Chain A
Amino acid sequence: MALRTFIKRNLILNNKCPLRISQRWSHFTFVPDTVSASEGETQRMNLFQAINNSLDIALTQDPTAVIFGEDVAFGGVFRCTVGLQEKHGKSRVFNTPLCEQGIAGFGIGAATAGATAIAEIQFADYILPAFDQICNEAAKYRYRSGGIYDCGSLTIRAPCSAVGHGAVYHSQSPEAFFAHCPGLKVVVPRGPIKAKGLLLSCIRDKNPCLFFEPKILYRSAVEQVPVKEYTMPLSKADILVEGDDITLVGWGTQVHVLREVCQLAKDQLNVSCELIDLVTILPWDKETIAQSVKKTGRLLIAHEAPLTSGFGAEIAASIQHECFLNLEAPIERVTGFDTPFPHMFEPFYMPDKWRCFEAVKKLVNY
């Protein structure tokens, strides 16, 4: 009989197995975005399907566009490129050897020579070998050449962030490393609708872009996504919930955690939270955050990446400078700890809704 049934019948129901395999722990509940009817026909898509759709549109419209990386030909380990090689051909969707620095360098060269280069790094945890190419080369290509050469048509996509069991090398959120590199754009979508539009914007943007896709959302994030082609603006933060007492800022999966915090704060503390999805890490929308903090006087930033020099540090430093006299309390960051990302202890590591809720409580009672 099937393995799962065997375990359930003989171990779980007999209380011989302490693990409840059939139950999955999740630290968040995905809240879908909706679009107005004026956006036209929509289709039920999860995150990887929306990304697949976006890539398909890019390849259909731009004959120079190519997609490459490890295992992209058969559809990708997260199925983001399923069907694309069949549709657009082997010369446009192809596997490269297993070498991230090669993938990034190859992408830069292809972009320089006039192609729209869409590279995939299999996990954001493995983007580090490509750091030299991305930060020393791609980011600086236009600047150092006096503007005569650039690799603006390069986009690098990578799955990022916690997935429940990813541990040290399948859970990282490296956005802060790249935020420190002028010349790059760094974008993190919170769901399928945003992802489709943002990815297309990145592909068309005339600067090298990094697109980090929270992998836990690939299947769990499902929305009614407009089937038409559309883009979404980079460097524009989204105010998802309006409020007066405290500003909450996050990106990617954390946005959904913070949504629950908003509800908890309202129910248990009678506190009105303003929730902002930063969307783009670099260049980031300081204006929207500052406006919000000037109204609320309190700021909580939450991200999975470790505390020290995480992107929350940049937001905190800039906002205390912009809004010093408006602040009613210190700016709070709820983040991963300054440790590598652990395996068994993930429920304790994550900046979950209880840690964020506790921080809201502290700030409101400061």
Chain B
Amino acid sequence: MLPIRLARFGIRSVAANCKRINIGSLSQVAREFSSDERPQFPGSRSQWTEKLEFIRPDLYDGIPVYRVMDRKGKVIDPSQDPQLSQEMVTKMYKCMTQLNTMDRILYESQRQGRISFYMTNYGEEGTHIGSAAALDPKDLIFGQYREAGTLMWRGFTLDQFMNQCYGNVDDGGKGKQMPVHYGSKELNFVTISSPLGTQMPQAVGAAYAYKRSQNGLCVMCYFGEGTSSEGDAHAALNFSATLDCPVIFFCRNNGYAISTPSKEQYRGDGIAGRGPAYGMLTIRVDGNDVFAVYNATLKARQVAISEMRPVLIEAMTYRIGHHSTSDDSTAYRSVDEVRYWDERDHPISRLRNYMLSKGWWGDAQEKEWKEDCKRQVMTAFARAEKKLKPNWKEIFTDVYHEMPSHIREQMKQMEEHVQKYAEHYPLKNFTKD
């Protein structure tokens, strides 16, 4: 084996690498090469076949959907009931219903022009609460934008949600982003960004850093089925498997990416069908079954951390609401279709039925909680609305760790301008210096 001359670069390194191959291993390789049993390609050593046969993508029904309860909330196989305490299950129920109530109020507030934008979580509450409940509160979450329930589960207050939506002086994000772009350092929820899928390779890098730090935690990455078409999704799944990262990929397959139905998003077996192709453990679950989501996430977490490998969960669900306040989904789907899911397969009603069957809930409690919940949401709402916005000079903060001179210069110029033309700027809505 002669070292091949490479123009300009790498000549010596090729020669150095060649020196490392000794005669003993060369003859061993030669012996393996002479055996006809398996292909020897570095890319694949599977098996030989002499049959010209293409693999058909529609050969099988698709990866089955794991569930614990039927659509009415009755546990099918008792061994799969996670046997959570009444306290835990009640907390799950209250969290889902509070999320639902908050969604109704904030959606309405956008319609009334009080906030600029909102996205509801209707129908997907089970995916949020079921998964969040199975994680360690210190596991880092990278979300897409429809995972508010995971934050709520961890303790993000109604005030904090509302402050961000109003972009007021108490918004943790300092009024920089549109509503629903929440973030929390204490609750280990990375701030949401609008570009889809970008969070996915980031989640993998974070998981790698966690692995190196040996902190016993994993990273949770949420994304929708539409987002899974982005290049970043492919990058993330591939990197996570090749670099052995403790990350759980949780796909909320809710049937729509704005108006694009899933049958126009992919031709294969959903997102779960891709997992084995990347070399990762995969499961598809009923996303409207809180216990199925809980069980799968709990197991995925155990595997991710103990075996240092990624796991893919595809949670099948349905987006009952519009994509956002900028969308009217009656333009692309029937009201009947939406009604079916709202009335016949809703995570909240299924869990309620489970609680009723256990004697943990009743009409009186439902009425009391509904009123209490609404009152809490309304008072938080009123508080958020009254607050001023942050000082307008926040425009110039946090671009860099330290404010460089050119940004400071621009801030000064604007300060002078605003002073001169004060009556043309809505200063009374913003906190003063």
Which A residues are within 8 Å of any B CB, using their own CB?
A: 3, 64, 66, 74-75, 77-79, 82, 91-92, 94, 96-97, 99, 101-102, 104-115, 117, 129, 132-133, 136-137, 140-150, 152, 182-183, 185, 205-207, 219, 235, 283, 286-287
Tell me if B212 counts as interface (CB < 8 A to partner A).
yes
Q: How far is the CB of A361 from chain B (nearest CB, A)?
A: 33
Instruction: Out of A94, A117, A183, A207, name the residue touching B205 (CB < 8 Å).
Output: A117
Q: Contact: B401 with A109, CB < 8 Å?
A: no
Cα separation A268 to B16 with both chains bound (whole Å):
49
Q: Contact: A183 with B17, CB < 8 Å?
A: no
Tell me if B152 counts as interface (CB < 8 A to partner A).
no
Q: Contact: A99 with B238, CB < 8 Å?
A: yes
Q: How far is the CB of B104 from chain A (nearest CB, A)?
A: 27
Q: How far is the CB of B278 from chain A (nearest CB, A)?
A: 10
Q: Contact: B206 with A148, CB < 8 Å?
A: no
Given A97-B238, A110-B205, A147-B174, are A132 and B191 neighbors across the interface (CB < 8 Å)? no
Interface segment, B39-47, B178-186, B253-261?
B178-186
Q: Contact: B173 with A146, CB < 8 Å?
A: yes
Q: Contact: B195 with A143, CB < 8 Å?
A: no
Of all chain A residues, which has the CB nearest B186? A148
Cα separation A96 to B208 with both chains bound (whole Å):
12
If A146-B398, A206-B400, A207-B400 are given as contacts, then 15 extra A-B residue pairs at C-beta distance below 8 Å, sorted by A number, are: A74-B17, A94-B243, A101-B231, A102-B235, A105-B236, A106-B235, A106-B243, A109-B209, A113-B210, A115-B212, A144-B181, A145-B172, A182-B407, A206-B401, A207-B401
Q: Which of A107, A132, A136, A146 has the most CB of B within 10 A?
A: A146
Interfacial chain B residues near A112, Cβ < 8 Å: 190, 202, 205-206
Return the CB mask of B362-398 against A: 1 if under 8 Å, else 0.
0000000000000000000000000000000000011
Instruction: Out of B176, B208, B239, B400, name the residue touching A146 (CB < 8 Å).
Output: B176
Interfacial chain B residues near A144, Cβ < 8 Å: 173, 176-177, 181, 191, 193
Q: How far is the CB of A180 from chain B (nearest CB, A)?
A: 13
Cα separation A144 to B213 with both chains bound (whole Å):
27
Q: How far is the CB of B65 from chain A (nearest CB, A)?
A: 30
Q: Contact: B239 with A106, CB < 8 Å?
A: yes
Residues 382-433 of B at the A interface (beta carbon under 8 Å): 397-402, 404-407
Q: How far is the CB of A81 from chain B (nearest CB, A)?
A: 11
Q: Contact: B195 with A136, CB < 8 Å?
A: yes
Q: Contact: A105 with B200, CB < 8 Å?
A: yes
Q: Contact: A106 with B205, CB < 8 Å?
A: yes
Interfacial chain B residues near A91, Cβ < 8 Å: 212
Q: Contact: A101 with B201, CB < 8 Å?
A: yes
Tell me if B22 counts as interface (CB < 8 A to partner A).
no
Interfacial chain B residues near A78, Cβ < 8 Å: 9
Interfacial chain B residues near A99, Cβ < 8 Å: 234-235, 238-239
Q: Contact: A108 with B205, CB < 8 Å?
A: yes
Interfacial chain A residues near B407, Cβ < 8 Å: 182
Q: Contact: A101 with B232, CB < 8 Å?
A: yes
Interfacial chain B residues near A79, Cβ < 8 Å: 9-10, 13
Instruction: Out of B209, B238, B406, name the residue touching A64 (CB < 8 Å).
Output: B209
Q: How far is the CB of B280 from chain A (nearest CB, A)?
A: 14
Q: Contact: A101 with B235, CB < 8 Å?
A: yes
Tell me if B171 counts as interface (CB < 8 A to partner A).
yes
Cα separation A195 to B180 with both chains bound (whole Å):
43
Return the CB mask of B119-131 against A: 1 if under 8 Å, else 0.
0000000000000
Cα separation A116 to B174 with both chains bound (whole Å):
26
Interfacial chain B residues near A149, Cβ < 8 Å: 183, 185, 190-191
Q: Contact: A97 with B242, CB < 8 Å?
A: yes
Q: Contact: A146 with B201, CB < 8 Å?
A: no
Instruction: Out of A82, A115, A143, A145, name the residue touching B13 (CB < 8 Å).
Output: A82
Interfacial chain A residues near B185, Cβ < 8 Å: 148-149
Q: Contact: A148 with B140, CB < 8 Å?
A: no
Interfacial chain B residues near A111, Cβ < 8 Å: 205
Which 6 A-B residue pairings sit nearest by Cβ, starting from the closest? Answer: A105-B201, A109-B205, A102-B235, A109-B202, A145-B191, A113-B206
Of all chain A residues, which has the CB nearest B409? A286
Q: Contact: B13 with A142, CB < 8 Å?
A: no
Tell me if B203 counts as interface (CB < 8 A to partner A).
yes
Interfacial chain A residues near B171, Cβ < 8 Å: 146
Interfacial chain A residues near B172, Cβ < 8 Å: 145-146, 148
Cα separation A97 to B210 with both chains bound (whole Å):
20
Residues 103-158 of B at the A interface (beta carbon under 8 Å): 140, 142
Cα separation A133 to B198 with both chains bound (whole Å):
7
Of all chain A residues, which has the CB nearest B191? A145
Q: Contact: A143 with B198, CB < 8 Å?
A: no
Return the CB mask of B198-241 against A: 1 if under 8 Å, else 0.
10111111111110110000010000000000011011101100
Of all chain B residues, which has the CB nearest A2? B5
Q: How far is the CB of A129 from chain B (nearest CB, A)?
A: 7
Cα separation A79 to B17 with both chains bound (whole Å):
13
Cα separation A101 to B202 with both chains bound (whole Å):
10
Cα separation A154 to B200 with both chains bound (whole Å):
17
Instruction: Out of A101, A110, A140, A152, name the residue touching B206 (CB < 8 Å).
Output: A110
Interfacial chain A residues near B205, Cβ < 8 Å: 105-113, 115, 117
Interfacial chain A residues near B208, Cβ < 8 Å: 66, 106, 109-110, 115
Q: Contact: B212 with A64, CB < 8 Å?
A: yes
Given A91-B212, A137-B193, A137-B198, are A109 and B206 neighbors across the interface (CB < 8 Å)? yes
Of all chain A residues, which has the CB nearest B240? A106
Of all chain B residues, which has the CB nearest A218? B9
Cα separation A182 to B396 with both chains bound (whole Å):
11
Of all chain B residues, which has the CB nearest A206? B401
Interfacial chain B residues near A143, Cβ < 8 Å: 176, 398-399
Q: Contact: A146 with B399, CB < 8 Å?
A: no
Return the CB mask of B86-98 against A: 1 if under 8 Å, else 0.
0000000000000
Cα separation A149 to B10 with both chains bound (whole Å):
40
Interfacial chain B residues near A110, Cβ < 8 Å: 205-206, 208-209
Cα separation A64 to B210 with both chains bound (whole Å):
10
Interfacial chain B residues near A117, Cβ < 8 Å: 205, 209
Interfacial chain A residues near B202, Cβ < 8 Å: 105-106, 108-109, 112, 133, 137
Cα separation A101 to B397 with both chains bound (whole Å):
28
Cα separation A219 to B176 with both chains bound (whole Å):
46
Task: Give 11 pairs: A residue, B residue, CB < 8 Å, sorted on A.
Answer: A91-B212, A105-B198, A112-B202, A113-B209, A113-B219, A115-B208, A115-B213, A137-B202, A145-B173, A147-B398, A148-B184
Of all chain A residues, which has the CB nearest B217? A113
Q: Which of B17, B235, B402, B407 has the most CB of A within 10 A?
A: B235
Interfacial chain A residues near B177, Cβ < 8 Å: 144
Cα separation A31 to B200 with both chains bound (whole Å):
45
Cα separation A349 to B285 with both chains bound (whole Å):
59
Interfacial chain B residues near A102, Cβ < 8 Å: 201, 204, 232, 235-236, 238-239
